Structure 1
Amino acid sequence: MKKGSLGSNLKLTLPPPDEVSISKFLTQSGTFMDGDLLVNREGVRIVSHREVEVVFDVFLVVNVNLNANAQPPPIQASDNQMILADLDAIKVIGKGNGGVVQLVQHKWTHQFFALKVIQMNIEESIRKQIAQELKINQSSQCPNIVVCYQSFYENGTISIILEYMDGGSLADLLKKVKTIPEFYLAAICAAGGEIKITDFGVSAIKASTSEQANTFVGTYNYMSPERIVGSNYSYKSDIWSLGLVLLECATGQFPYTPPDQSEAWDNFFELMSAIVEQPPPCAPSDQFSPEFCSFISAW
């Protein structure tokens, strides 16, 4: 993995906030549209290229008031029993990315779900991430991805009904148990346990594993060196992040230790420099099996 140098004069430059009205992405009927993605009070739908052209033509016509009665293709709910009115809010279980996640219960089946509620009066970049998440939720079918039951758009709000994982996050588990034995980490890697991932706002749908991306989004602590220095990156960067997570689970601490040996990094730029300039972390050979050490070193 090629490394670069951050340099002593590194400055974090953020783009100016996008000031794009949500009305730009709405049809007259109140359907939220982003490319081939349509979401309204009836649910979510991915349409064909031809349907996108029809919807976009209709959208333009409505916006210039040439045809006030034009409507996009209707969206059919994937599960008629799954409507927002049948969900009772229990409590807030998470916040972030422009919205909150609530624990909700279905009035009739008494099942629990996680309801992500996002106000769409947000920056353009975040709106794009949310649209990407909706598309991936709609197309993914994997036993180790949190199930998305339905999504809705109404009155400026996107609501996503997700499978509720009552065990909490991996971070929550680590706080309780401190370390996770190698045996259980192997089960996670082999997809043998009930471990699932969610939140695909920063994911990308790629046509091949060799494709590279050049965006700068994600949790910086777990970014690979090429992402930090702004180089193109691929799936190998995800393997790097996985290796850091597994090593942290095994040892009970983040693999990169601050110079003062404290538990947390106070200086963002020092952490970035350490990841780019220091050798990749490795698993202590006297504490872990050769297989685990080899796996960690492979990234």
Structure 2
Amino acid sequence: MKRGCLSPNLNLSLPPPEQSISKFLTQSGTFKDGDLRVNKDGIQLVSQSEPGAPPPIKPLDDQLSLADLEVVKVIGKGGGGNVQLVKHKLTCQFFALKVIQLNTEESTCRAISQELRINLYSQCPYLVSCYQSFYHNGAVSIILEFMDGGSLSDLLKKVGRIPEDILGAICKRVLRGLSYLHHERRIIHRDLKPSNLLINHRGEVKITDFGVSKILTNSTSLANTVVGTYHYMSPERIRGNSHGNKSDIWSLGLLFLECATGKFPYSPSEPGERWTNVYEVVDAIVESPPPRAPSGQFSPEFCSFVSDCIQKNPEDRKSARELLEHGFVKMYDEASVDLSSYFSNAGSLTPKLPI
């Protein structure tokens, strides 16, 4: 392999000659299957050893380069950058590659990339794993775990609305991820929305893009823009006031109310009308009373949960840790809700990819 742009943290160790590359799996997630291990330390190929003994790993001096990744297709586009499905040529492992073009000095881009690598270095099972980030050809590229079910937004488009028991199971997973970000890492997501909650065939739900706002706010080319999607932005952020992790809780309440009802919680006063510009939306968020879940359609627990999230005063909102103890979150036992089957039956999973 050619020496490339990635950090030495992403190591590739070659297996013994008798081992076949066909053994390597192509599913998403964190692995300890066969000879492929993908974790916070990167990608490693390991040789088999006696049962119970840790497998030996041979270090390789060469660094992995972009040349080792084959682009399969574009799977997402947005203001934060494009996302490509890529395949590692040697192992046939699939990843998501997010590419963010930045119009700023190269030294700044490299500093941002390094800071992002530190911020996203995580073992939390409720956050999309970031395996590496680096600067290359005027862009910051991030190698991410590939979630083959797409986003909660994609799922919502297919099913119209999501049943309350399914939402309860999803909510518990999202809150665990938020609790880790807020209380252990002191990170504010700033752009929590259905398209930033990803799902996969295992029934896992994970938060993504929690470090991209760090890139955008540190870029001189984007310093004057507001990071985040206006529709899910808290009133204090829209006003330009100081904000903390409770701004994410507002977004959480809005997105779950949208998933439950099948429509965005804020709508024009006249039936059949549509918002004509973003200013009308933000004005409604700041000036109108906070939306509530219709009590006749949902359980008292769900209505209470939404109310505890969508409070105009951030001090009145529950924290992620407090919400994990909420009756709505506790009323659905994880073992009784099969998210894997629900995601599969909804047709939200990516068709089987060729090796």
Instruction: Give % identity.
Output: 60
Cα displacement string for residues 206-242 of structure 1 (whole angstroms, at most 9, x for unaligned residues) = xxxxxxxxx9421110111111112211111111110
What is the deviation of 1:290? 0.8
In structure 1, what is the Cα distance between the partners aligned to 2:251 and 2:79? 21
Select 2:129's aligned residue among 140, 143, 147.
147
Does residue 42 (structure 1) correspond to residue 6 (structure 2)? The answer is yes
* Alignment pair present for 1:202 and 2:185: no
Matched, 1:186 2:197: no
Match of 2:235 in 1: 225
Aligned pair partner of 1:109 in 91, 101, 104: 91
Please say if 1:289 is aligned against 2:299: yes
Matched to 2:136, the amino acid is E
- Compared with structure 1, are the counterparts of its residues 122 and 182 closer, same or farther at alpha carbon in structure 2 (3 Å cutoff)? farther
Match of 2:152 in 1: 170
CA offset digits 1:124-180 (Å, max 9, x no partner): 9x9687665433223x22101111112233343332211111111111111111100
Q: Which runs of 5+ in 2 are unaligned?
A: 10-40, 46-63, 175-202, 216-224, 310-355
Q: Which residue of 1 aligns with 2:312?
A: none
Do the aligned partners of 2:6 and 2:132 also contact (CA within 8 Å) in 1? no
Report the alpha carbon displacement of residue 257 of structure 1 after superposing the two structures with TM: 1.1
TM-score, scaled to structure 2: 0.55
TM-fit CA distance, 1:121: 3.0
Q: 1:44–1:156: structure 2 CA closer, same or farther, 3 Å change rule?
A: farther
Counterpart Cα distance in 2 of 1:238 and 1:98: 18
C-alpha contact (below 8 Å) 2:84/2:96 kept by paired residues: yes
Under a length normalisation based on structure 1, what TM-score does the superposition of the two structures give?
Answer: 0.64
Identify if the C-alpha distance between structure 1 residues 80 and 195 changes in structure 2 by more than 3 Å, giving closer, same or farther. Answer: closer
Whether the 8 Å CA contact 1:225–1:275 is kept in 2: the answer is yes
CA distance in 2, matches of 1:91, 1:238: 31
Verify: 1:268 aligned to 2:278, yes or no: yes
Select between 189-198 and 285-294 the one with higher mean Cα deviation.
189-198
> Does the 8 Å CA contact 2:73/2:84 hold for their aligned counterparts?
yes
Please list the CA deviations of residues 14-38 of structure 1 after superposition, one character each: whole Å capped at 9, or x if unmatched.
xxxxxxxxxxxxxxxxxxxxxxxxx
Structure 1 pair 157/217, CA: closer, same or farther in 2 (3 Å)?
A: closer
Gaps of 5+ in 1: 1-39, 46-76, 205-214
Q: Residue 19 of structure 1 corresponds to which residue in structure 2?
A: none
CA contact (8 A) 2:170 2:205 kept: yes
Amino acid at match of 1:251: T
- Whether the 8 Å contact between 1:44 and 1:150 is mirrored in structure 2 is no
Q: Is the 8 A contact 1:89 1:104 kept in 2?
A: yes
The counterpart of 2:262, out of the listed 252, 264, 279, is: 252
Hey, what's the Cα distance between the residues in 1 that align with 2:257 and 2:112? 29
Count of aligned positions:
217
SS of 2:141's equivalent in the other structure is strand
* Equivalent residues of 1:101, 1:116 under 8 A apart: yes
Partners of 1:263 and 1:144 in 2: CA distance: 38
Question: Quick check: 1:121 aligned with 2:131?
Answer: no
2:173 is paired with a residue whose SS is coil
State which of 117, 122, 140 in structure 2 corresponds to 1:134.
117
Q: Contact conserved, 2:113 with 2:134, CA < 8 A, in 1? A: no
Give the deviation of 1:83 after TM superposition: 3.9
| Aligned CA-pair RMSD | 2.9
- CA distance 1:176–1:123, change in 2 (3 Å): farther
Cα distance change of structure 1 residues 254 and 129 upon mapping to structure 2, 3 Å threshold = farther
- Counterparts in 2 of 1:247 and 1:92: CA distance versus 1, 3 Å: same
Alpha-carbon separation, structure 2, partners of 1:96 and 1:167: 18
8 Å CA contact 1:44, 1:151 repeated in 2: no
SS at match of 2:98: strand
Query: SS where residue 90 of structure 1 aligns?
Result: strand
Are 2:95 and 1:85 equivalent residues in the alignment?
no
Contact map agreement 2:102 2:138 (CA 8 A) in 1: yes
Check conservation: 1:115, 1:159, Cα contact below 8 A. Answer: yes
Structure 2: distance between partners of 1:154 and 1:268:
34
Residue identity opposite 1:136 in structure 2:
N
2:205 is paired with a residue of what secondary structure? coil
Q: Aligned in 2, Cα 1:155/1:80: closer, same or farther, shift over 3 Å? A: farther
The corresponding residue for 1:241 is 251
Establish whether residue 160 from structure 1 lines up as the match of residue 142 from structure 2. Answer: yes
Q: Could you tell me how far apart the structure 2 residues matched to 1:154 and 1:240 are?
A: 36
